[in-house]
Amino acid sequence: MTDSKVVLQGRYELVGELGQGGMGTVYMARDMRLNGRPCVAKKLRDDFYVEEDKQKAVAFFKREAGVLSCLQHPNIVHILDYFEESDNYFLVMEYIEGRNLYEILQERGEPFSCEQVVGWAKEICDVLEYLHEHDPPVIYRDLKPTNIMLDVKGHVKLVDFGIARPCAENADNTHVVSAGYSPPEQYWGAADPRSDIYALGATMFFLLTAAEPVALHPSSPVSCNANVLSYVNEVVECATAQDPQSRYQSARQMRDALVSPVNMKDSSRRKQLIFALAGTLIVVFVLGYNKFHEMLNSSQQQLKASQQIITQQDQEKGYLRKKLRTYSRAVEAEEKAIRELQVKVKGQPGKTSDVDNGAAVVAQVVDERELTDPEGLLDNH
């Protein structure tokens, strides 16, 4: 750029250079139609020596514009415009106030905490899930710290979709890689959604260790930073497996693995707690069952004793009823005998005393056992 004022499309004023990359130069700009609102203008490089390379670069640039125009996600940079002017190609995108994670770590000089990295990784998993489930699915293919911006609110945003492409059977198999962050299959152009999973795992390794991941090699951050939680280390190892089948098969699956239990420092602690809880529940169950069994036996014994008492009372009541009937019959027999005797002496004066004597005779004639105990109950009591 020269010192003269440059305005593109009569709208976007370029105010300064932000940086350069393999595909071109990024400028800070202002949208003159919207009260000078800040934006970013990305210009495709024009110094290709081979025409074929330029044509490929233009195709990538146009594809980036096409991909971004179809995406609407809070963690993806928004495209505002795309145009060609004076044989140059431009993309205009939203301005993100912040810096990329690579720059932040370099200035910091030490790794980020597990909590911080896991938080960012879960946000990125949400973005990847959105991309991979888009219609058509989109493979980012260039996930690395320099392409992850951190805004002033602490949220991440993915930028530079230059080599992103829709995932289709007839898609080109371009060999575009970033050493250490690209999986083995991307080296021969066979990238799929699991390739972005690998790149996220490698990015986590860098953020947790402040060391660049080794190309074509599984990453294990705990080998460089002993403070990395074991479950986080396991997530990174799984994500960077060399065989795609051994990785997480989706961004959602990886995000679920990143959810750490509350107040749990690592997965081994979680397992210990689960086993302890299970043992406690078993003990409580056994003790509770034994106590319940004792109470049940005690209740059954009390019920049996009550039934025995009731049975004994019923027997005594039966005996008393029978004894009462026996005495009643004896009294009735005596009264009958007296009446019969009275009939015999009726009308015979001077025979009154005979009635009394007759009663005595009746008592002699009627056997005492027949009158008082005709059923023989008194023999047993």
Active site members: 142
Query: Where are the strands (E) in the chain, listed by range?
Result: 6-8, 12-20, 24-31, 37-44, 79-85, 88-94, 98-100, 138-139, 148-151, 156-158, 165-166
> 44 with 61: CB under 8 angstroms?
yes
What CA–CA distance (Å, rounded) separates 204 from 40?
Answer: 27
Q: In what order do the strands lie in the sheet with 6-8?
A: 6-8, 12-20, 24-31, 37-44, 88-94, 79-85
Rounded to 5 degrees, φ, ψ at 138 are: -120, 130
Structure tokens at 309: 């008492």
What CA–CA distance (Å, rounded) separates 19 from 42?
Answer: 10
151-155, Cβ contacts within 8 angstroms, sequence gap of 24 or more: 151/96, 151/97, 151/98, 152/97, 152/98, 155/74, 155/75, 155/123
What CA–CA distance (Å, rounded) separates 271 from 258?
Answer: 16
What CA–CA distance (Å, rounded) separates 249 from 129?
Answer: 11
Going by C-beta distance under 8 Å and a sequence separation of 6 or more, which residues neighbour residue 147? 100, 158, 159, 160
* DSSP string for 253-286: HHHHHH-PPTT-SSHHHHHHHHHHHHHHHHHHHH
Rounded to 5 degrees, φ, ψ at 150 are: -115, 115
Most distant CA pair in the chain, distance: 172
